[in-house]
Amino acid sequence: MKKIILLLLGAFSIQNAAAQIDFPQNEVKLNIANTIAIASVELGYEMFMDNNQSIDFGLLLNDRMNYHSEKGSRNFKTNSFKIGYNFYFGTENSGSGLYASPFAKLRTGEFSEVVQVESEDVKRVTDMDAFIIGIGGGYKWNFNDTFVIGPFANVGRNFSNEVKDRFSAIEFNAGLSVGYRF
Protein backbone atom coordinates (compact mmCIF):
# COMPACT_ATOMS: atom_id res chain seq x y z
CA MET A 1 0.00 0.00 0.00
CA LYS A 2 2.88 2.32 0.84
CA LYS A 3 4.42 1.74 -2.62
CA ILE A 4 1.14 2.56 -4.37
CA ILE A 5 0.78 5.81 -2.43
CA LEU A 6 4.37 6.81 -3.27
CA LEU A 7 3.80 5.96 -6.93
CA LEU A 8 0.63 8.08 -7.05
CA LEU A 9 2.36 10.99 -5.30
CA GLY A 10 5.23 10.77 -7.80
CA ALA A 11 2.84 10.78 -10.77
CA PHE A 12 0.95 13.72 -9.26
CA SER A 13 4.15 15.75 -8.77
CA ILE A 14 5.25 15.05 -12.38
CA GLN A 15 1.82 16.11 -13.63
CA ASN A 16 1.94 19.32 -11.53
CA ALA A 17 5.44 20.12 -12.81
CA ALA A 18 4.30 19.48 -16.40
CA ALA A 19 1.33 21.83 -15.92
CA GLN A 20 3.82 24.68 -15.29
CA ILE A 21 5.55 24.24 -18.68
CA ASP A 22 4.97 27.16 -21.04
CA PHE A 23 5.21 25.11 -24.28
CA PRO A 24 3.67 21.85 -25.59
CA GLN A 25 4.44 18.94 -23.23
CA ASN A 26 4.46 16.07 -25.76
CA GLU A 27 6.58 15.32 -28.79
CA VAL A 28 6.40 12.51 -31.34
CA LYS A 29 9.39 11.96 -33.61
CA LEU A 30 10.94 9.82 -36.34
CA ASN A 31 14.61 9.17 -37.10
CA ILE A 32 14.24 9.98 -40.80
CA ALA A 33 17.92 9.35 -41.63
CA ASN A 34 17.86 5.66 -40.61
CA THR A 35 14.50 5.11 -42.29
CA ILE A 36 15.95 6.32 -45.58
CA ALA A 37 19.46 4.83 -45.28
CA ILE A 38 18.91 1.36 -43.77
CA ALA A 39 15.13 0.77 -43.69
CA SER A 40 15.08 0.86 -39.89
CA VAL A 41 12.12 2.65 -38.33
CA GLU A 42 12.87 4.50 -35.10
CA LEU A 43 9.78 6.09 -33.54
CA GLY A 44 9.92 8.16 -30.38
CA TYR A 45 7.77 9.93 -27.83
CA GLU A 46 9.06 12.58 -25.45
CA MET A 47 7.16 13.80 -22.38
CA PHE A 48 8.49 17.04 -20.90
CA MET A 49 8.67 17.33 -17.11
CA ASP A 50 9.83 20.96 -17.21
CA ASN A 51 11.54 23.33 -19.65
CA ASN A 52 14.87 21.44 -19.65
CA GLN A 53 13.98 17.80 -18.84
CA SER A 54 12.03 15.03 -20.51
CA ILE A 55 11.47 11.30 -20.45
CA ASP A 56 12.08 9.69 -23.83
CA PHE A 57 10.47 6.47 -25.07
CA GLY A 58 11.53 4.77 -28.29
CA LEU A 59 10.51 1.86 -30.50
CA LEU A 60 13.05 0.65 -33.05
CA LEU A 61 11.75 -1.68 -35.75
CA ASN A 62 14.37 -3.64 -37.74
CA ASP A 63 17.04 -2.38 -35.32
CA ARG A 64 20.42 -2.91 -37.00
CA MET A 65 23.51 -3.63 -34.95
CA ASN A 66 26.04 -0.85 -35.74
CA TYR A 67 24.62 -0.38 -39.25
CA HIS A 68 25.53 -3.86 -40.50
CA SER A 69 24.10 -4.41 -43.95
CA GLU A 70 21.78 -7.19 -45.04
CA LYS A 71 23.76 -7.99 -48.20
CA GLY A 72 23.88 -11.57 -49.37
CA SER A 73 21.98 -13.96 -47.14
CA ARG A 74 22.12 -11.88 -43.95
CA ASN A 75 18.86 -10.95 -42.24
CA PHE A 76 18.04 -8.95 -39.10
CA LYS A 77 14.74 -9.71 -37.37
CA THR A 78 15.20 -7.43 -34.38
CA ASN A 79 13.17 -4.82 -32.53
CA SER A 80 14.13 -2.66 -29.57
CA PHE A 81 12.44 -0.68 -26.84
CA LYS A 82 14.26 2.29 -25.31
CA ILE A 83 13.68 4.59 -22.34
CA GLY A 84 15.86 7.59 -21.62
CA TYR A 85 16.14 10.86 -19.79
CA ASN A 86 16.93 14.03 -21.76
CA PHE A 87 18.47 17.11 -20.19
CA TYR A 88 18.50 20.24 -22.39
CA PHE A 89 21.22 22.84 -21.78
CA GLY A 90 19.54 25.60 -23.83
CA THR A 91 17.82 28.43 -22.00
CA GLU A 92 16.40 30.61 -24.82
CA ASN A 93 13.92 28.18 -26.32
CA SER A 94 12.57 25.52 -23.95
CA GLY A 95 13.13 21.88 -24.90
CA SER A 96 15.72 22.75 -27.51
CA GLY A 97 19.44 23.25 -27.95
CA LEU A 98 22.22 20.93 -26.87
CA TYR A 99 21.11 17.92 -24.81
CA ALA A 100 22.50 14.81 -23.11
CA SER A 101 20.55 11.58 -22.77
CA PRO A 102 21.41 8.50 -20.68
CA PHE A 103 19.23 5.52 -21.71
CA ALA A 104 18.42 1.84 -21.29
CA LYS A 105 17.39 -0.34 -24.22
CA LEU A 106 16.04 -3.86 -24.59
CA ARG A 107 16.50 -5.61 -27.94
CA THR A 108 14.75 -8.80 -29.00
CA GLY A 109 15.08 -10.91 -32.12
CA GLU A 110 17.65 -12.77 -34.15
CA PHE A 111 20.18 -12.38 -36.93
CA SER A 112 20.59 -15.10 -39.52
CA GLU A 113 23.10 -15.59 -42.31
CA VAL A 114 24.18 -18.30 -44.69
CA VAL A 115 27.83 -19.31 -44.32
CA GLN A 116 30.03 -21.83 -46.13
CA VAL A 117 31.00 -24.86 -44.05
CA GLU A 118 32.97 -27.53 -45.90
CA SER A 119 31.64 -26.34 -49.27
CA GLU A 120 28.01 -26.41 -48.09
CA ASP A 121 25.68 -23.52 -47.30
CA VAL A 122 24.69 -23.56 -43.62
CA LYS A 123 22.28 -21.15 -41.96
CA ARG A 124 23.75 -19.62 -38.79
CA VAL A 125 21.38 -17.88 -36.35
CA THR A 126 22.50 -15.47 -33.61
CA ASP A 127 20.14 -14.66 -30.73
CA MET A 128 20.19 -10.85 -30.60
CA ASP A 129 18.34 -10.47 -27.27
CA ALA A 130 20.30 -7.95 -25.23
CA PHE A 131 20.04 -5.36 -22.48
CA ILE A 132 21.89 -2.18 -23.41
CA ILE A 133 22.78 0.92 -21.41
CA GLY A 134 24.34 4.01 -22.88
CA ILE A 135 24.48 7.74 -23.33
CA GLY A 136 23.65 9.98 -26.21
CA GLY A 137 23.49 13.57 -27.14
CA GLY A 138 22.48 15.92 -29.86
CA TYR A 139 21.10 19.27 -30.79
CA LYS A 140 17.45 20.12 -31.35
CA TRP A 141 15.94 23.13 -33.13
CA ASN A 142 12.40 24.06 -32.08
CA PHE A 143 10.28 26.02 -34.58
CA ASN A 144 7.24 27.80 -33.06
CA ASP A 145 6.84 25.12 -30.37
CA THR A 146 5.45 22.83 -33.06
CA PHE A 147 8.09 21.42 -35.42
CA VAL A 148 11.46 20.10 -34.18
CA ILE A 149 14.49 18.75 -36.01
CA GLY A 150 17.98 17.78 -34.93
CA PRO A 151 20.95 15.43 -35.28
CA PHE A 152 21.86 13.00 -32.52
CA ALA A 153 24.30 10.20 -31.71
CA ASN A 154 24.25 7.41 -29.09
CA VAL A 155 26.78 4.91 -27.86
CA GLY A 156 25.80 1.94 -25.72
CA ARG A 157 27.13 -1.26 -24.18
CA ASN A 158 25.19 -4.49 -24.65
CA PHE A 159 25.37 -7.25 -22.07
CA SER A 160 24.82 -10.27 -24.29
CA ASN A 161 27.74 -12.65 -24.71
CA GLU A 162 26.26 -14.12 -27.90
CA VAL A 163 25.88 -10.71 -29.54
CA LYS A 164 29.32 -9.65 -28.30
CA ASP A 165 30.91 -12.82 -29.75
CA ARG A 166 29.32 -12.33 -33.20
CA PHE A 167 29.40 -8.51 -33.44
CA SER A 168 30.64 -6.14 -30.71
CA ALA A 169 29.81 -5.16 -27.13
CA ILE A 170 29.75 -1.47 -28.11
CA GLU A 171 26.82 -0.23 -30.20
CA PHE A 172 26.56 3.04 -32.08
CA ASN A 173 23.43 4.79 -33.38
CA ALA A 174 22.96 8.19 -34.98
CA GLY A 175 20.43 9.99 -37.06
CA LEU A 176 18.31 13.00 -37.80
CA SER A 177 15.16 13.28 -35.74
CA VAL A 178 12.09 15.07 -37.12
CA GLY A 179 9.24 15.69 -34.71
CA TYR A 180 5.97 17.40 -33.87
CA ARG A 181 5.02 18.90 -30.50
CA PHE A 182 1.51 19.09 -29.12
Rounded Cα distance, 106 and 132, in Å = 6
Within 8 A by CB and 6+ apart from 31, the residues are: 40, 41, 42, 44, 175, 176, 177
Rounded Cα distance, 61 and 52, in Å = 28
pTM of the complete model: 0.81
Whats the size of the chain, residue-wise? 182
Tell me what pLDDT residue 84 has: 98
pLDDT in tens, the chain (182 residues): 566 566 656 655 555 555 566 778 999 999 999 999 888 899 999 999 998 999 999 999 988 877 776 676 678 899 999 999 999 997 677 889 999 999 999 999 999 888 888 888 888 899 999 999 999 999 999 999 899 999 999 999 999 999 999 899 999 999 999 999 99
Domain spans of the chain, in order of start? 23-181
Tell me what pLDDT residue 121 has: 87
CATH topology of domain 23-181: Porin (2.40.160)
174: closest CA among 131, 133, 129, 136?
136
Adjacent-strand bridge partners of 100: 87, 137
170: closest CA among 138, 121, 135?
135
Tell me what pLDDT residue 169 has: 94
